[in-house]
Structures are given as structure tokens and as C-alpha cells.
Chains A and B, each alone.
Chain A
């Protein structure tokens, strides 16, 4: 009798052997009991953000939510409401106005989750970023909650630039644009890292200069410094910086791009002229591309949206100034 036949004989025993075993009454799965009792703030978030907009708001520290290389900490709970109110009123509610997307526009388009953090989001090169690059666009990260003040132009600007940037990414994720065509326009200029940006960007101290339309960027065909990072950043930055700037500021930025630097050497001057021409060409091409995308794919006129946004920002500051 060889081994195989022994096993064959015993196989039926094996099959029956465990039939009478009962399941353990204790589950091996964690009961995941909630440790925090919901506060007044939690209820406000549930009623004002989660239910109407379908967004989960995370303001308590969750270590695994932040996989970036920056040192961030949870926000002061007393500032959370003010920040969320500003985000709701100055971003989401404008998109859902009748003139633009309409009441049903936001359905399925808002980010699924918003993370709030207290301090700045400074990366390893010392450059402050508007988003957490390790998150997908369906999650939004809002930084600088601790020193937010609704009446302060600069603080509000930093917040809205970040929110519009991330929401533009979210929209571009859901309603696609022709990425190949867009990234070809300034394809050779993207740095992929903040390292080369650290020196020119850190001259700016005020938020509006730091995140705003910058001469250095304009002269290289970009709206802002953060746009250098990638084509996706560039696209989101065009939407975001446009919505936070007046039409005149944007046209001034384009004039800056068009204006060559001056040099007494004719050869150098010729080079400067060429560079300015190229920067202008790229900037206008990208502007047109984004405007067309908004018009055709989202049925929103970017210029009108810009005017509505800027007006609401100004009104918002006035309202909270008292």
C-alpha cells in the first residue's frame, strides 16, 4: 500500500472532521468604537457641510491622512467654522449659482473629504505648497487654519487660492481636458520639483505676493510660481489665480510676459525679445485653452466667474471687517 492510497482512504475522514466545529463567539474584527463624543462643531459640520455638500470634514489629527513630507499639525477647532464658511460661500456656492453651473452642478463634483491643518504646508525645500501632492483630487487639504481671519485680505487670498486650485483639479479629474495638447504648450518648462523655485519664491513675504501672479513666472509663460511644478498644477493655477485676481491684474500679468527685459547689448536684447514673445505666446495659448475647457466642458464662462468671485471676496472682507 503506497502513500497515495492511504491518503485516498483517509480523505473522507478529513472532510468530515471539522464539521461540528462552532464559530468563535468573539469577533476578531475591531469594534472601532468612537472615542470622541460629537461636539457642537461636529454637529455644525454635519448640518452645514456634510449633508448639503456631501463632504466629510476631518479636522482631528489622522496620522495616515498626511503622507507628505511636510510638518503639519491639527487646527484650532475655534477657527474651523470660519474657514469652512468662507470655503462654502466663496467657492462652492459661486459655482452653483444659476449663471454658472446651476443648483445641480456640485452634485458628485465636490471633494469627498476636506482635511484641515493648523500651520503652513512647507515642503523639504522650504516652499509652501497649496495642496498635498500625495492626495488625489477627490480629497482637499486646507492649511493655515490657525491664523485665518476673514477680514484679512492676505489670509483669505491664501485660503481661496488653495481651495480654487484643488477644486479645479477635482473638476479636471471628473470632466477631462486634452492633457496632451495642454502639456505640449509649455512642456519644456515644468520642473517637477520645488528646488529651483525656492530661491525666487522666498523673496515674497506677503501671501498675495507669495501665491499671486508673479513677474518671474509671467516672464516664463506661467501665471504663478506653483505652476512650474507640472502641467496639472499649471492648469489648476490658471483657474485658481484667475478666480482670485481682477481682470486687470490678469491682463497686467500678460503684459509683463510680453514686455522683454532691457539690455544695452543688441544681441542679448534680441534674445530677451524672443523669450518675451515665446512667454506671451504660451501664456495666451494656455489662457485660451482653459477658457475653452470651462466654456465647452463645464458650460461656465471663466471671465464671468472671475468677476463673481472677486466681487464676493471683496464683499466678504467688508462684511467681516466690522
Chain B
């Protein structure tokens, strides 16, 4: 024992050994500067998808029965597509896909990059994104930088939730001026096209085998259904329903209903669903491409060398991927009655 104490006494003042070669303040400043450099490096700006209130457990089990009155008023929330251009003087230009004017008129405001427990991007003066800060969408003005995903996009989250998959904030770099000009307009156009569908239905299939196909006319435009139509539009959430057991009385609500739902938002290609149309733990559809009058998502397998895992993504985002044949399609069935 005594020898040990003596031994420690002798090494006590050896050279300065630090776990880090820089002070915490320096490391803070470096991470702030790095994120700012990353953001301002995109000269044509970023396409930002922001879903502030997602729920991956809501209407995500296609074999679970949904009670007749179990979905009205319980829809989740969707999101929006923004274009953002960050400048070195801590200002940014922003466009949003709320309506035609916000999609084409950039609004300039200030941002700041700071650091608490994470490097944090804050929108410090008012801009389009703050329209989602309300008791419905519960958006936040401070986004915490989490790093890059497998596609090299910047991923953020907020301090509002501890659980994973409660929000979705991803920055994708835009590569040319045309994208800066058109992205939010196209996103708005695609979203409005989906919203204008009278009776959208979803089918998930591989070849001739159908895994899921919705058939209930959810958007029926009658007085008693007005509140649901309003809910879909305000919350930007869609639930595709299938009558597992039909009612023998024609025109009456089905006896057993199942369904798949997700918040939606427009993108330049078509639609994006977050937390996704989740058929099962592997088969999940997020990004849909608009093909004529339909929205289509075909899953392909992509290998991620960093995580050493294969993942399923939409073909239009990764044309090089290995085909799986899994396809989800959304089309307008029309008012058949």
C-alpha cells in the first residue's frame, strides 16, 4: 500500500496529459465554424424537409383493426419542404411550400450557429419556418445537428423530444440554380396534386402478389365528413383504409377496417411520407415519384459501406440500386358512386 502511494506521488506532476489537445471553448468554436462552413458552402442552397411531429407507431400496423370511430381526430402530422440559402453574414433566404407566394418569394432573416450539448442552428428572426411553431405542429426554432446520413445529407433534430423518429429534419444540397428556383414550387404542385385527388388509394405489391390495397372512400365530400377533410388538409396526414370485413348492407361503413397512414409533404419529385408508410419492419415506403397521374415508389437495395448494411430506398433516388420488385402506388380512384 505504502509503495503505491509513493509511486503515485512521483508521477503526479508529469507532463500535461489531456484527453483533448484543445480547450472545450476551442472545440466548441471549431464545431460551430464547421457547421457554418458546411451550410454556407452550398451556393445554390439546401432543400430542407421538416416534419416537426411524426409518430412511427401511429397507423403503422396493417393487420391491426381500426375502430369505426377510432381514426377521426387522431390523425398525425405531416411536414413541409423548404429551400434555404445560408450566407456568411448570418442571414439566410428561405422559401416554403405553403402556397404559391411563399414558394416563389424568398424571405431573408437571420440565423445563428451555437452550441450547447450539440451544435445548434437557430432561426433567430422570423421566417416561414416559424409558421409551424404552434400548438398543433409544435415546431422548434432551434435545430440540433446530428451529423450526416448515408446519402451525405445533414440530419438535425430538436430538443423537444427524447424518443427517436419524433421529427424529421434533413438538409439535401441543391446542385444548380434551377433547383433553387423551382424546388418549392414543384413540391407545392405535387402536394396540391395529391390533395386534389378525390379518392386516393394505395397498393403495395410485388409482381402479381398484393400485400396491401386500400379501398375505403375516405374523402367522401358530404356534410358529416367535413371535419375529417379539414383534418387531413390542416394536419397533412393521410390514412389509407381497407375494409377487411364489408358491411352486408350496401353503403354502410365496413365492419372491420385496417389501414396504413403517415404524414405527407411535397418534394420536387413527388411526395414524401414521414414516418413512412410502414408495411412491416423492412418494407417501408418514404419517397414517391410522380409518374403521370400516379405516385409511385419502387424499392431498391442499396449497400451502405459505412454502416456495412443494405437498406431499401426508392428507385428514383438511387437508380443504381438492386431491384426488389416491391412497389407502392397511389392513384385517384375517383368518385365511383
Residues of chain A having any CB pair with chain B under 8 Å? 2-3, 6-7, 10, 13-14, 17-18, 21, 24, 26-31, 35-37, 59-63, 70-77, 118-119, 122, 126, 146
The CA-CA distance from A26 to B16 in the complex, in Å, is 14
Residues in B neighbouring A70, C-beta threshold 8 A: 135
Beta-carbon contact of A36 and B133 below 8 Å? no
Identify B28's interface contact among A30, A37, A74, A75, CB under 8 A. A30
Mask of B292-309 contacts with A, CB within 8 angstroms, 1/0 = 000000000000000000
22 sampled A-B residue pairs with Cβ under 8 A = A2-B2, A10-B6, A14-B9, A14-B12, A17-B13, A24-B16, A28-B23, A28-B25, A35-B90, A35-B113, A36-B124, A60-B124, A61-B141, A63-B122, A63-B142, A71-B134, A73-B133, A74-B141, A75-B126, A77-B126, A118-B126, A119-B133
Beta-carbon contact of B126 and A74 below 8 Å? yes
Known: A7-B5, A10-B9. A74 touches B125 (CB 8 A): yes
Which 9 pairs between the two chains have the least Cβ-Cβ distance? A73-B130, A60-B124, A73-B133, A61-B124, A17-B13, A28-B23, A30-B25, A76-B126, A3-B2
Residue B149 at the chain A interface, CB threshold 8 Å: no
Residue B320 at the chain A interface, CB threshold 8 Å: no
The CA-CA distance from A10 to B2 in the complex, in Å, is 12
The CA-CA distance from A62 to B5 in the complex, in Å, is 50
Q: Could you tell me the distance in whole angstroms from the C-beta of A13 to the nearest C-beta in chain B?
A: 7
The CA-CA distance from A119 to B137 in the complex, in Å, is 14
Beta-carbon contact of A61 and B122 below 8 Å? yes
Residue of A nearest to B2 (CB): A3
Beta-carbon contact of B5 and A61 below 8 Å? no
Residues in B neighbouring A7, C-beta threshold 8 A: 5
Residue of B nearest to A64 (CB): B116
Residue B29 at the chain A interface, CB threshold 8 Å: yes
Residue of B nearest to A1 (CB): B2
Identify A71's interface contact among B5, B23, B133, CB under 8 A. B133
Residues of chain B having any CB pair with chain A under 8 Å? 1-2, 5-6, 9, 12-13, 16, 22-26, 28-29, 89-90, 109-110, 112-113, 122-126, 130, 133-135, 138-139, 141-142
Q: Could you tell me the distance in whole angstroms from the C-beta of B118 to the nearest C-beta in chain A?
A: 12
Residue of A nearest to B1 (CB): A3
The CA-CA distance from A199 to B134 in the complex, in Å, is 20
Interface of A is mostly: loop
Known: A26-B26, A35-B113. A72 touches B13 (CB 8 A): no
Beta-carbon contact of B126 and A28 below 8 Å? no
The CA-CA distance from A226 to B22 in the complex, in Å, is 53
Q: Number of residue pairs across A and B with beta carbons under 8 Å?
A: 89
Identify A146's interface contact among B2, B26, B28, B126, CB under 8 A. B126
Residues in B neighbouring A3, C-beta threshold 8 A: 1-2, 5
Identify A60's interface contact among B24, B89, B110, B139, CB under 8 A. B110
Beta-carbon contact of B112 and A77 below 8 Å? no
Residues in B neighbouring A146, C-beta threshold 8 A: 126
The CA-CA distance from A126 to B135 in the complex, in Å, is 9
Beta-carbon contact of B123 and A74 below 8 Å? yes
Beta-carbon contact of A27 and B25 below 8 Å? yes
Residues in B neighbouring A76, C-beta threshold 8 A: 125-126
Known: A6-B5, A10-B6, A13-B9. A61 touches B123 (CB 8 A): yes
Q: Could you tell me the distance in whole angstroms from the C-beta of B115 to the nearest C-beta in chain A?
A: 9
The CA-CA distance from A29 to B122 in the complex, in Å, is 22
Q: Told that A26-B22, A28-B25 touch, could you supply 9 new A-B pairs with CB distance under 8 A? A: A17-B13, A21-B13, A24-B23, A30-B25, A60-B125, A61-B141, A74-B123, A74-B125, A119-B130
Residues in A neighbouring B122, C-beta threshold 8 A: 61, 63
Residue of A nearest to B133 (CB): A73
Residue of A nearest to B134 (CB): A71
Q: Could you tell me the distance in whole angstroms from the C-beta of A25 to the nearest C-beta in chain B?
A: 10
The CA-CA distance from A76 to B124 in the complex, in Å, is 10
Q: Could you tell me the distance in whole angstroms from the C-beta of A229 to the nearest C-beta in chain B?
A: 20
Q: Could you tell me the distance in whole angstroms from the C-beta of B210 to the nearest C-beta in chain A?
A: 42
Beta-carbon contact of A71 and B135 below 8 Å? yes
Residues in A neighbouring B113, C-beta threshold 8 A: 35
Residues in A neighbouring B23, C-beta threshold 8 A: 24, 26-28
